[in-house]
Structures are given as structure tokens and as C-alpha cells.
Structure 1
Amino acid sequence: MRHQHRKWVPFFLLSILYIFGIMMDGGINLVNSEPIENIEADLVWSEVETEDYEIYFSSLRNGQWSAKTKLSNHRAMDLLPSVGSGIDGTIWVVWFAAQGSISDLYYSVFDGENWSIPEMISTGFSSNTAPSVVVDNNNVPWIVWAGFDEEDDDIYFTRWNGFGWDSPSMVNMDNTTPDIIPVIKIGQNNLPWVKWSGYDGKESKSYISRWTGSKWSEELIEDIENINQSLISISEYLISDLPEFVGSQKLATIHIKSNGERSTFRIREVMEESEDDNNLDILQKQIEIQSDGKTIIGYGDSITQGIPYVADAGAGRRIGGYEPDLEAITRRVLGWNTKVLNYGFGGESSAAGLSRLGNQTLGKHNAKYVLILEGTNDLIYYGISVDSTLYFLGQMIDKSRAFNVIPIIATLTPDTKSPKNNIPADYNPRIKDLALRKNCALADQYAATISNWPSLTDDGLHPNIAGYKVMAQAWYDALPELTVVTLDASEIDETSVVMNGRINLKGYSTRYFFEFGETPDFGTQTNTENVGDRKGEVSVSISVGNFSDNSIYYYRLVAENDFIKKNGNIMSFKTLEKPSKKACFIATAAFGSSLEPHVVALRTFRDRYLLTNTLGKKFVSFYYKKSPVAAKFIRDHEVLKVMVRVFLYPVTWYVQFIVNISSWMKLFFGSAFVILFPGFGWVYLHNIISRKNNKNAKLIA
């Protein structure tokens, strides 16, 4: 909870006041002039015990903390307890116990001598998290919590009626966005009021509702009740000097009774007041990064921040755990002048991350990608359900796209520090499903790190240097980048060509086509083909026709996936010139007429066997480029005409003969023809073999 009207009082200053008070009159003189011996406090917290979390209690009486007492004892993650006490001294403790995605409320009562056996509070909801309890002046406990109604989390309350708990009733206005992390207190009119966090479609806001005596008032934007300043100062002092047996202070709640006043504080929220002030200084010192369109934003909690190597919020600086390594990879492999900016904020929830994502992050840079890893802290530290975490992650994806930044979402990294965590079973499968539903790129950071996690972490939660290097590679592998190269065209003839290219895929479904035209502006494209979602280098080709002969065309390969479109380099080719249909130049020169039977036979062979395949076309094209000069020389010399006719007689007889024989005979004589007339005969033999193979293929089919 945020108290915007007050400033944080540093712990060391209170300690000085405490020492000064002892020196002056033998007792501490706090804001309300209350000696420490007269202050009573009840402390509850979650603590890891072998296989799961358990709930513990300690009380401050006469300036001394009692030994810790274990309240819970069942195989579940017992988390985020809240404590309150009445005027009669009865102490009520409530918490939630999570088993996978299912969580229930439990409570235990101290009657002055013994703690009751924990009992479950029946709510009818599959998820019940972040409870808060207060005891009114009639010694009646009131409980509020976030309950999931199969659509979203809402704030519910119940109270003790002397025999059991009332049926749950909703506090907030019913809508489709999560309402989470409630806290209940007694107001100055001795009636309860509830404050919680809700999302208005743009950011998280604090809402409040008051008990009117018969129902809850309409929710309002935070209009916080004044909380006794002396209790705030006392809580800050006590937090600075908690018993050593309290493991994680941020999992604790303290209930203070002083001078007739009572109030409960979540220690995490009190401590975050100081941390927020410190991080505010860092945020105000952000360096404006001039982007060339290759900026990547790392966004998340302490894992993105780079703990233990980066102590403060990233605030857009080029520092971090994985960020420097990712920057180096993209510069080396992609040739980018990359800047990877660290916007990690240690300890935050996904709800806070959603509010922080906006103009001061995405809006400050012309970023291409934002890498989102949020949710690790949600359940244990904030009591945010898995369903609400998924909602906030989905909103981050949508908000990123609204800023024209491509989001990449990550599965949560392993957490062996917390026993029975439900990251692999409940969070990550649903994060993968969210990425699929939102058509969002996914970096499976859990899969990348789990097999070697003991060597990739020092504390079980945060990666070490080696772990951050693995994360950087996993982020790079998830970038939906495409390497597209246009290659030389092949099988070029007068009217058709095969366009070729190469695509380096990253595992995302990819499509491609070729653009082409008589200028580098193209104007025409082929049909789109799909190469699937493979990884690695893939060669692609498309055969295109209807070109003009003897013409230059420009073309390039274009590939795209659901996230980006990439153009290849521009290449060109020139179609072959169509051979003249009028004559075979040398034969016509030798025999004197294009209608002479021997010339007609050669022309028929050309049209039937040479112009029907690529190799033959190339031979004919070569012949028509070179033969006119020779034909002119022959035409001017009668002796040469006779010699050429003598040479062509067996050729013309041969081509006339093979037109009318079987395919196998053509193959035999074609082989002989290759030996006798290597250039001319080889083209013919190639044609016969191709036809034979095609015929056999049809028979097999």
C-alpha cells in the first residue's frame, strides 16, 4: 500500500532517536512519546521449511520478541499471512495455501493460551489469495481477499458471525479486469474500509470502498483514510530491528498496538516505500539513447535487472545480467549496431510491470523488440493468482504492439529456492498457450536453463554469469529475424527462368515470394509459398514464365513471418534471344534454299528435338549467334558449298531416319551420333534420355 502523503523516515535516523531517548530518560521516545516497553506487536510470516512454506508467529511484549511459533502444518505452500487482534486480546491469523493453481484460505486463533488448529474457510472459489484481516471494536474479525470467479479476480469479504464465516460477498464493482492485493483497516468512524489494486485498461490504480453499516460503498479512486502517523513510524522502526529468526522480511506482516491504536502493515509495502524513493533517483538519471531502429528493451523484475550483479533498477541503462551478452550476439551475428536497454525492476509484480510499461519505457525509444519476463514474484510475494498474472502478461503484449514494438514473452526461469513452486506445471504451460493465442514470439527460458540449472545459479532463483549468458542466447534464438539472400537465376531461356534464394529460419512459420520486373521497382510478384516453421538455412526456388526474349529483368526474394518482413538483395538476369524460324543459316547457304528438303529436315529436327529442352535451346542459341558469319563465307565460295553439302548429307539422312524409329532405337543411334557428331549428337541424346525417363515415370505412377 502506498501512503503518498508521507516521507520515508530512514531506519538509521530512528535508531539514533532511540539511543538518544535512552540516554535522556531511559526509554525510547517515538512520535507518540510511547516507550518501547508499552508497544505491543504481533508478527506473522512465511518461511521455507524443507519441502514447502509454513506460517510462523512471534509477539513483542515488554520490549522482547517471543520465540517463533509454527501455525501451519500441511503439505502446501502457506503464504502471505495477515494478523489482527481485538480489544479482548484474541489474535486472528489468516493466510492462503497454494497447491498448484488451486489455493484456499486458512485461519488460526490465539485465545490467550493456545493456538487453534488451522481450519479452511470455504469460499467456493478455485483461487483465493492475498488475505487481509482486521478485528473491529466488537472483537469481530473481517477478512478480505482476492477470489477467482472463473473470469477474473475480484475482492471478497467475510466476517465471523460467532459460529462460522459468512458467505463471501464482493466488495469491488464487478468487471472483467483483475482486482487484487486488498488490505482492510478500521476507519476513524470505527467502520472497516478496504483498499486494493485494480486495472483500468491503461494502468493499475488504487481503489477504496467503505463499509456503510449494511453494505460496501461504491468503489472510488484512492481516497485514503489518515493512518496514525505514530503507528507508521513505529512500524518502520520495528521493521529495522526484527528478530533474526525471521527469514524473508518481505513475506511478513506486523500488527501494532500502541496508545489505544491498532493497525496492520505488510512489511514488503513499507520497505518498498524506501526502495521506490531510491529507484526514483535512478529513473530520473536515465540516459537518452539515440536509436537507429535496432534497440531492444529488456523488461521484467530482478532477473531482468541482473541481480546479484546490478543492485539498482535498470532504468534504461546498458547494463545488466543478460543484456550485455545479447547486445554482443546481435552485433556479431546480425551486424547490428544494437543497444540492449535494461528496464528490469527488482521485486516487482506483473501488475506493477504492466503499469510501468508505457511512455517512460516503450515511448522513450524507437525500439524494435521488448523482451518480457514477469511473474516470478507474483504468487509468493504479492498473492497474485496465476490467472491474473496471465492477464497482465497479455496486456503487456497488447500495449507493446500499440507502441509498434514487437513483444517477445518468456517462460519463467527455474526457482529451486522456493520448494513446490508451480512454475513448470502451472505458469509456463499457460505462458506458452498465451503466446500461441496472442501470436506472440516466445523465448523458452525455462527449457534453456533447467537441465543445467545448478551450475547456472548461485541462489536458486537468479542466474549467475553463466546463466545470464544462456539466457542471452535463448533471447537471441527467439528473435523472429530472417536472413534472406537472393541467388543467381537458373534455367534461363527465351521466356522463362527459375528464381532462387536462401532463407535462414528461426523456427517461426515463414512464407516467401519473388518480386520481379523490368526495373528495380519490380511491379510483379510470384505466388506466395510456405516453408513451414523449420530452423536453419533453407533453399527456395520458383519457376516463372511469360518473359520477353532477349530482355533484362530484376528480381529479389522476399520472406516474412507473423512478425517481420525481410527483403533480399536485388539481382538481374537476361532472357535468351529466340532463334529465327526462317532458316538454318549454314544448311541454307550450302543447299541454296530454306525450302530445300535437306534444310527442311534439319529445321524439323531442330524444332522437334532441340527447342524442346534447355540444353538444346542453348545449343541453338549459340549456333544462331555464331553461324551467320560462317554461312556468309560459305555462300560466297562454291567449293565450300559442295564440301558442306557432302558433310550434311549423312546428317540429314540420320535425322530423317530417327524421326520414324522407336524410342529404344533412337537411344541407340543417338549414342552413336554422339560419337560421330559430339556437339550436335549430345544435345539430341540428352533429349531422348529425358523423354525416356519422363515416359517411365508416368508408367510407374
Structure 2
Amino acid sequence: MMRTRRNMLIWTGLLLFCLSGAAQAQTAGTTTASAATVKKAVVVCFGDSITQGYQGNTRTAYPAYLPDMLDPTAFTIVNAGKGGEATYSGVERIADVLTKHAPKHVIIMEGANDIIQGISPATTAFNLENMAQQAKAAGATPVMSTITPNSEPNHAPENYNPLIVTAAANGGYTLVDTYSRLITDWKNLTFDGLHPTRVGAQKIAEGFAEQIKTLKSSEEQAASGGGGGGGCFIATAAYGSALEPQVVLLRKFRDLRLLTNGPGRAFVAWYYQHSPPAADFIARHELLRLGARAALLPLLATAWLLVEATLAQQAALLLAAALLLMAARRNRRRA
């Protein structure tokens, strides 16, 4: 009787061991299968013919070049451009696009037709911000853009872009200054004064690809609690999110300017060692967050100048600074 009971316990243990092994194998198989079928992030490119491609020519459509600039295993690019569309139509159309594709990121670049149709800059900026709000409400990260150049003197995106920049800043949305990327060589980047050539489309895609990569890196760092190149702790505490444009700009400044030289790397290492406690304290006090934002303004201006500004913009600012210094010296001499 004892031997029979002992045998039953042994066989029961063996059976449980086998079942456990089978369960583990099934779980491993499921994990492997799910890892192999990871859903790629959808990037929707929303806009007019500059997005769609002039008269259906994809060689002049910037979305055609994004797959080569982004990881094709991680992103699916959707061209949701519609030729001739103005922003008021885009406001109505974008909801269906968001529902259909459920994107992770939405690139929004419209307004060229608003200029041609005489729609006011304020209305255009309002409509673009509305599209960004819809994208964010749908769970996507909007990436706004300034309007591309136009060779027609009566069609001036220069009157529209400042309001678009302000709208993006007010909403806390990422902005790509596509206009500045093209204007210095626009005559060689357009074939009709409005639509970009193949090279122009590639330059547009480069700007958006840079931002998508930055957003992806920020999301990965946030999900892992840091890592990689580390986080901008105080800026994140001040602005409330690692995805805010100001924090993204400072990370780009760190990666492109500080981490490329010895003194910069030493400063970053010191910062990572000493800033987390201060960032935690700042994050818990609203007045300190406001004060930190104000204190970061000179650094943000420097970062923009060194990372985002074109050569023409940098030269203009240096010239303005030189003129101010000369004027100050003259005043001192007179005094």
C-alpha cells in the first residue's frame, strides 16, 4: 500500500513536471511569435499636393523617401496627402484618416493652398492647431510644420509661418521648420515655384525623419526610465514631459554638440550625477517649475542657434549681436 502511494506521488510529480515544461515551451513559443509579429508604428503624412506628390508623381512626394530614412522594421509610412486641399478641408478630413490608420505619429503640413486662396494667416494657424489637437486626442503624436516657400511674390508663407510656430508652441507640439530648410536654395529645389523637386522632397523628408527618430528615442527612454544617452532631468521636470519640444531640443543639443567633445561629455556626466534630486524637487512645486522654465530660456536660445538655425539665421544673429556691442561701446564713450 505504501509502495503504491509512493509510486502515485512519483508519477504525479513527473506529470506535473511535464505539464510545466509544456506550458513553458508554449509560453516561449507565444513570446517568440509575438516578438516576430511586433506591430510597426504607423506614421501618417497629412497634407496637400506637396505631401501627395504633384499630379500623383511620388518622386516629388516627401513620404516616398521616409522609409529609407527610418527603420522599415519599426515604421509604416502612410501618404495621406490630397492635392489642392486647404486647411479647412483638412480639419474635416483628418478624423477619418486617424480612425482608418490609428497612427503613432501624424505629420501635418498644409497651408500652401490657403495662401493661394487668400485665407487669413490666423485662420490657417488655427486650423493646423485643430488638426494637431485631433491627432493628439486620437492617441497620436502630432508633428507640425511651417509652410514651404513659394516663388510667387503675392503668395508669401512668411506672413503665415510665425503664427504656425506660435500655435505649435502654445499647444506643446513638435514643429519642423520646413520653410527654413528650403528657402536658402529654393530656386534649385522647386520646378514650378510651389512644388518641390525630388531633391527638395528629400530635404523635407530629412527634417521629419529627424524628429520621428527623436520622438521614438524619447519614448524608449521614458519607457525604460532613462537609459541610452540619459534624460534632460531638470528640463523634463520643468515642462512636465520628455516629449515637449523644448526638452527634445535640449536632447538634440546634448547629442549633437555636448557628447561630441571631451569637455561636453564631462559636463553631461556631472549633470547626470547631480541633477536628478534637484529635478525631483522642482517637479513637486509649480512655482519652481515656472522658475526653471525661465532659467532655461538662454540655454534654449543657444541650443536653437547651434542645432536648428540655418547658416543665414546664425549669420544674421551674429551680425545683430555685433551691432549691439558697437552701439553699447559708442554709448559708453559718449558717457
TM-score by length of 2: 0.56
What pairs with 1:399-548 in structure 2 (closer than 5 Å)?
A: 399-416=134-151, 418-424=152-158, 426-479=159-212, 480-482=215-217, 501-503=227-229, 510=236, 533-535=250-252, 536-537=254-255, 539-540=268-269, 541-542=272-273
Q: Tell me the distance in 2 between the aligned counterparts of 1:305 and 1:323.
A: 8
Deviation string 1:399-453 (CA, Å, 9 cap, x unpaired) is 111111111110000000x2232212x2111111111001010011001111111
Cα separation, partners in 2 of 1:504 and 1:350, compared to 1, 3 Å: farther
Q: How far did residue 362 of structure 1 move?
A: 0.5
Q: Secondary structure at the match of 1:296?
A: strand
Cα separation, partners in 2 of 1:430 and 1:534, compared to 1, 3 Å: same
Q: Tell me the distance in 2 between the aligned counterparts of 1:385 and 1:432.
A: 15
Equivalent position of 1:340 in the other structure: 77
Percent of pairs identical after alignment? 30
Q: Tell me the distance in 1 between the aligned counterparts of 2:87 and 2:115.
A: 10
> For residue 450 of structure 1, what is the amino acid of its counterpart?
I
Q: How far did residue 390 of structure 1 move?
A: 1.5
Equivalent position of 2:126 in the other structure: 391
Cα separation, partners in 2 of 1:370 and 1:458, compared to 1, 3 Å: same
Deviation string 1:213-261 (CA, Å, 9 cap, x unpaired) is xxxxxxxxxxxxxxxxxxxxxxxxxxxxxxxxxxxxxxxxxxxxxxxxx
Contact 1:303–1:321 (CA under 8 A) maintained in structure 2: yes
- Structure showing greater radius of gyration is 1
CA RMSD in angstroms, aligned pairs only = 3.3
Equivalent position of 2:88 in the other structure: 351
What pairs with 1:40-189 in structure 2 (closer than 5 Å)?
A: none
What pairs with 1:222-371 in structure 2 (closer than 5 Å)?
A: 292-310=39-57, 321-331=61-71, 336-358=73-95, 360-371=96-107
Q: Secondary structure at the match of 1:367?
A: coil
Q: Tell me the distance in 1 between the aligned counterparts of 2:208 and 2:51.
A: 12
Contact 1:511–1:531 (CA under 8 A) maintained in structure 2: no
Cα separation, partners in 2 of 1:420 and 1:436, compared to 1, 3 Å: same
Q: Which runs of 5+ in 1 are unaligned?
A: 1-289, 312-318, 486-499, 513-529, 545-701
Q: Tell me the distance in 1 between the aligned counterparts of 2:248 and 2:121.
A: 36
Equivalent position of 1:34 in the other structure: none
Q: Secondary structure at the match of 2:229?
A: strand
User: Of Structure 1 and Structure 2, which has the larger fraction of its residues in strand?
Assistant: 1
Cα separation, partners in 2 of 1:403 and 1:419, compared to 1, 3 Å: same
What pairs with 1:190-205 in structure 2 (closer than 5 Å)?
A: none
Cα separation, partners in 2 of 1:308 and 1:505, compared to 1, 3 Å: farther
> For residue 369 of structure 1, what is the amino acid of its counterpart?
H
Q: How far did residue 386 of structure 1 move?
A: 1.5
* Counterpart among 372, 386, 390 of residue 108 in structure 2: 372
Q: How far did residue 504 of structure 1 move?
A: 7.5
Q: Tell me the distance in 1 between the aligned counterparts of 2:84 and 2:248.
A: 42
Q: Which runs of 5+ in 2 are unaligned?
A: 1-36, 239-246, 260-267, 276-335
Q: Tell me the distance in 1 between the aligned counterparts of 2:141 and 2:66.
A: 17
Cα separation, partners in 2 of 1:309 and 1:504, compared to 1, 3 Å: farther
Alignment coverage as a number of residue pairs: 210
Q: Tell me the distance in 2 between the aligned counterparts of 1:321 and 1:294.
A: 20
Cα separation, partners in 2 of 1:543 and 1:428, compared to 1, 3 Å: closer
Q: Tell me the distance in 2 between the aligned counterparts of 1:386 and 1:377.
A: 12
Q: Tell me the distance in 1 between the aligned counterparts of 2:199 and 2:209.
A: 16
Greater RCO (Cα-Cα under 8 Å, separation 6 or more): 2
Q: Tell me the distance in 2 between the aligned counterparts of 1:473 and 1:402.
A: 27
Deviation string 1:23-64 (CA, Å, 9 cap, x unpaired) is xxxxxxxxxxxxxxxxxxxxxxxxxxxxxxxxxxxxxxxxxx
User: Of Structure 1 and Structure 2, which has the larger fraction of its residues in helix?
Assistant: 2
Contact 2:115–2:155 (CA under 8 A) maintained in structure 1: no
> For residue 184 of structure 2, what is the amino acid of its counterpart?
S
Q: How far did residue 503 of structure 1 move?
A: 2.0
Q: Secondary structure at the match of 1:341?
A: strand
Contact 1:409–1:443 (CA under 8 A) maintained in structure 2: yes
TM-score by length of 1: 0.28
Q: How far did residue 324 of structure 1 move?
A: 2.2
Q: Runs of 4+ in structure 1 displaced over 6 angstroms?
A: none
